[in-house]
Amino acid sequence: MDGRNFTGDGKTRLDVLIASQSEWTRSHVRKLIDDGCVSVDGEAIVKSGTVVPSGKEIEVLTEEPVLVSAEPENLPLDIVYEDSDLVVVNKRAGMVTHPCQGTPKGTLVNALCYHVKDLSGINGVFRPGIVHRLDKDTSGLLVVAKNDLSHVSLASQIEKKEAGRYYLALLEGNIKEDNGQIDQPIARSKTDRKKMAVCADGRRALSYYTVLERFGKYTLCEFKLATGRTHQIRVHAKFMGHPVVGDPVYNGKKEFDLNGQLLHAYKLELTHPSTGERMTFSCPLPERFENILEKLRKNL
């Protein structure tokens, strides 16, 4: 994560000032502020309407790119469904969703710009069509908007919890309950700004889980997201005391020779922006995930 600096003018509210001096939209700046990514003299700002005194330095910690645009690249892209309004893709683990500092190329957006003719422009030139995202090492389904009307509809469905987003995760340990919910607020960690954490002053985060299989030292769970905070499942799993296997940030163990967490967005439910049809998409577990489950089953 890198910092970008701005200077207060003593008269302009914070979200307007940053948006006017960057490529970000005002709504995205507000999200950065809500996530605790914006600080003045080391103190996190929690209100978008704050007016920073003239000359005061504002720091924004962000993964956003300092680029002109996302370049089209002929990269493999697993398209599950496509029509004139949207495209559903199965992102592979290890691929970043959109260009960011240190990863200007090789992302899902670079591949989309090559393979898909039209993408919505609401999120600007760095994240065209991107309605929601997956972490680099999380695989699975993403819906991408091909025009602005579709983008507004899909984003609204996610915000209003009308879209269903389901994940499979292999967790450390044996979870006692067969199902449950984790309703714990999440914000950027106050001790490590590269991490998220459960914090009393964070934004509400709600996850539902169901145990699918038990392997003694490990548990396979389905998660359904009711909110979409950064690293939500990974942070909630750690809060439960059962971090995601292979998670390099929230799990200290190195197992199965993995390079990233065993977390897969396997099912997506949404209402089509134009037809109103309720649609369900699914994709199988990636091979590395399935192979580990097969080994665990053989050892039962």
Residue 267 — very low, low, confident or very high, per pLDDT cuts 50/70/90? very high
Q: Which of 293, 208, 198, 192 is nearest to 246 (CA)?
A: 293
Which pair of tokens denotes residue 291?
């192979």
User: Cα separation of 139 and 159, whole Å?
Assistant: 22
Phi, psi dihedral angles at 207 (to 5 degrees) = -130, 140
Residue 67: its pLDDT value, please? 47
Chain mean pLDDT for the chain: 89
User: CA-CA distance, 58 to 38, in Å (whole number)?
Assistant: 7
Half-sphere exposure in the Cβ direction for 38 (13 Å, CA)? 25
The DSSP symbol for 13 reads B
User: CATH topology for 66-159?
Assistant: Pseudouridine synthase (3.30.2350)
Tokens of 135: 């972490």
C-alpha dist (Å) from residue 36 to 9, 22, 33, 190: 21, 18, 5, 9
Q: What is the largest CA-CA distance in the chain?
A: 66
Residue spans of the domains in the chain: they are 2-62, 66-159, 166-264+290-298
What does residue 256 show for φ and ψ, rounded to 5 degrees? 60, 15
How far is CA 208 from each of CA 6, 85, 175, rounded to the nearest angstrom? Answer: 39, 30, 14
* Percentage with pLDDT > 70 across the chain: 92
Exposure of 3 in the CB half-sphere (CA atoms within 13 A): 11
61 pLDDT band (50/70/90 cuts)?
confident
pLDDT tens digits for 105-134? 899 999 999 999 788 877 666 678 889 989
What residues are labeled active site?
A: 135
The answer to whether 100 touches 65, Cβ cutoff 8 Å, is: yes
pLDDT tens readout for residues 150-170: 999 999 999 899 999 999 999
CA–CA separation, 76 and 155 (whole Å): 26
Average pLDDT for residues 270-294, to the nearest whole number? 97
Give residue 168's Cα distance to chain centre.
15
Q: Which CATH number fits domain 166-264+290-298: 3.30.2350.10, 3.40.50.720, 3.40.50.11400, 3.30.70.2970?
A: 3.30.2350.10
Do the domains 2-62 and 66-159 sit in the same CATH topology, yes or no? no
Among 5-14, 122-131, 277-286, which range has the highest average pLDDT? Answer: 277-286
User: Which of the two residues, 144 and 60, has the higher pLDDT score?
Assistant: 144
pLDDT tens, residue by residue, 70-116: 789 999 999 999 999 999 999 999 999 887 766 778 999 999 999 99
Give the side-chain half-sphere CA count within 13 A for 184: 17
Structure tokens at 296: 């665990």
pTM: 0.80
What pLDDT is stored for residue 65 in this prediction?
47
Q: Which of helix, strand or coil describes residue 96?
A: coil
- pLDDT, residue 145, reads 95
Identify which of 30-39, 120-129, 249-258, 266-275 has the greatest average pLDDT.
Answer: 266-275
- Which CATH homologous superfamily contains domain 2-62? RNA-binding S4 domain (3.10.290.10)
Q: What whole-number distance in Å separates Cα of residue 125 and Cα of residue 67?
A: 9
